[in-house]
Chain A
Amino acid sequence: MTTSSRPTNPASSPSDDPSAAAVTGPLHIVFEPGFFSSGTVHAALVMGAVVAAVTGTVGTFTVLRAQSFAGHALGELGATGGSAAFLAGTNPLAGFVGIAVISAAVIEALGLRRPRTRDLATGLVLGAGLGLAALFLYLDTTSTSTTGASITILFGSLFAVSNSMVPSVVGLGGLALALVAVCYRMLLLGSLDADMAAAKGVPVRVVGAVYLLALALAVSLAAETIGAVLSTALLVGPPASALRLTKQPGRAVVTSAVTGIAACWLGVLLAYDSYYWPPVRHGWPVSFLIVAIIFVFYLGVDVCSPGRRHRRPVLEASADA
């Protein structure tokens, strides 16, 4: 987390791998030698799938509730949590999750629910959090010199995850999914039409707070494993595309999770292959490749979908008010 600003080579010399010969024929063009036998790639594929599934599910509601800014801010505040944990010498994941949950609580406590002012509350918390991060990093650097920490937290890398992180990430991700699952129907109703939900007796405020907690959990573990940039991309991109493709919420959740996983895996594959690409033969950043895939997919859906202005999906109308 504190050493390098870019992904390390997953396999310093892939062609030396003895099992490379197993991949032959046409597959060889797609999968460079050693792809299936590299432990780093396994960890990246597993972690990418877990994180993409969690953020894809949680993100569907983020998009419906127009809370992308909160989703991004909570991820970026991981810089605060990471630097605080480093300063205190504790587990970084604890710092990430702790700060995200505290920030979510403060955003909720500022009690602004209209989209305009809600983004303001998010922004103020983000500004204060980044200020704290600057202080922590300053205090860190004066003692141990870790200038690149903020950059690492921002960009992260799937190739830097280790298998030992899997249990805690799966556990926290499962908790976030459980929170969403428990209040799925109420959350859906509250996200689509808060007034009608309140009239039907849904505790809109409580559901919103529970959702923000789920968002904080999902985003902070994503930011800790794959970086704040990629976590935002996975949280917003696949769900936004999925909501264009289908208007059925359940199907949108599944579509966005599957799209996110596919984007991650394709990105990992391309990043692995890119060690043979110009201009510099030490690999393209995996985060960049996944972000590019997600964005191109969104653009494709955007251009192809019939939903022009006069036919915007019903789902979009509610949060613009």
Chain B
Amino acid sequence: MFVAHCLLNQNAKVAEFARYPGVVSPIVDLARQNGYVVEQLPCPEILAMGITRWWTTKDIYDNPGYRRHCAGLTKFTADVIERYIKRGFDVRLIGLDGSPSSGVRFTGTSEPIWGGRPQATVEQYKIVPGKGIWIEELEKELQRRRLPFPKATGVPMDDPTFNMKKSVIEIDKFLEE
């Protein structure tokens, strides 16, 4: 099971978005209890903009430089995914829904689009269907290697209406599929 970086380390989150001190144990424990090997994906945001980064949307990250940064990280990440696939593992992925980078089913945009002079409220951040930039680039790298994109879902922790109980039920179902 490849999990979004911040599911094992909430310290990587952008300010105000860490919901747990460190490990998001309700999710990670579930994967471990179901016998999954847990591998951690890199967090492209902390590796590019650091821990004091501004709130950002997919629209802002959708630029050649950030995509190139993510594509660079996909090389060594896909090496690991490839090995698990080739050794016959049932490879899956749990992303961070609502994240501009690590979203699988949902990502985030703003209305109006953020950018320029910082000025933002949490209400302006809109959760919309789609993958984040990092997951899109990872998908491209796996396609380039002619590898299947893993069966994937996300934990919507960047959604202001996030409910862990609901998410645990969803992930439990996903693990049993």
Are A and B genuine complex partners? no
Interface set of B (CB-CB < 8 Å, partner A): none
